[in-house]
């Protein structure tokens, strides 16, 4: 499942515009499927500055730990507190209630370097071959 209206990173995060300059970020359905049951998500503090590709936390499943990378640079303006008690939301609703952080964009031009849904789909199809 790769929604058409989102942008994607090669490290399997999605980006969605939710305000003028604000982006919502989470991990893709493919990523949650690969990780399996997520039992813990560590997220940054609000107001933390992130550079593009910088790790902003980890998602941990029974099987493995995976770093989360910010697809864009900017300041964290919100984190999904619900994941503290219900990390499984990332598995169940990766594109909606399983969102992770909201970022106020520092360099809007970075968006054009992200993958389209089509390109991301190609990436994961190649990866699973």
The piece of 31-39, 69-77, 95-103, 113-121 that touches another protein (CB under 8 A) is: 31-39
Going 35 to 17 to 122 to 1, the CA torsion angle's sign is: positive
Q: Which residue of 63, 82, 118, 125 would you call a contact of another protein, by CB under 8 A?
A: 63
User: Do residues 97 and 89 lie in contact, with contact meaning Cβ atoms separated by under 8 Å?
Assistant: yes
Percentages of the chain per state (helix, strand, coil), in multiples of 5: 25, 35, 40
- The footprint of another protein on residues 70-129 (CB under 8 A) is 87-88, 91
58 binds another protein (CB under 8 A): yes
1 binds another protein (CB under 8 A): no
Nearer to another protein (CB atom), residue 36 or residue 113: 36
Which string of x and - marks every residue 35-54 that binds another protein (by CB under 8 A)?
-xx-xx-x------------
Sole residue written with tokens 């968006």: 111
User: Do residues 13 and 25 lie in contact, with contact meaning Cβ atoms separated by under 8 Å?
Assistant: yes
Quickly count: other Cβ atoms within 10 Å of residue 49's Cβ: 13
Q: Which residue of 54, 60, 93, 121 would you call a contact of another protein, by CB under 8 A?
A: 60
Nearer to another protein (CB atom), residue 88 or residue 93: 88
């Amino acid at each position: 499942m790769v929604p058409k209206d989102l942008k994607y990173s090669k490290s399997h995060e999605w980006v969605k515009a939710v305000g003028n300059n604000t982006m919502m970020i989470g991990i893709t359905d493919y990523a949650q499927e690969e990780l399996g049951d997520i039992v813990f998500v560590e997220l940054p503090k609000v107001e933390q500055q992130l550079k593009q590709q910088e790790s902003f936390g980890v998602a941990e499943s029974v099987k493995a730990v995976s770093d989360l990378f910010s697809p864009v640079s900017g300041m964290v303006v919100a984190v999904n507190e619900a994941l503290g008690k219900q990390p499984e939301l990332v598995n169940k609703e990766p594109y909606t209630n399983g969102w992770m952080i909201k970022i106020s964009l520092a360099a809007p031009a970075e968006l054009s370097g992200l993958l389209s849904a089509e390109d991301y789909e190609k990436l994961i199809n190649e990866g699973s071959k």
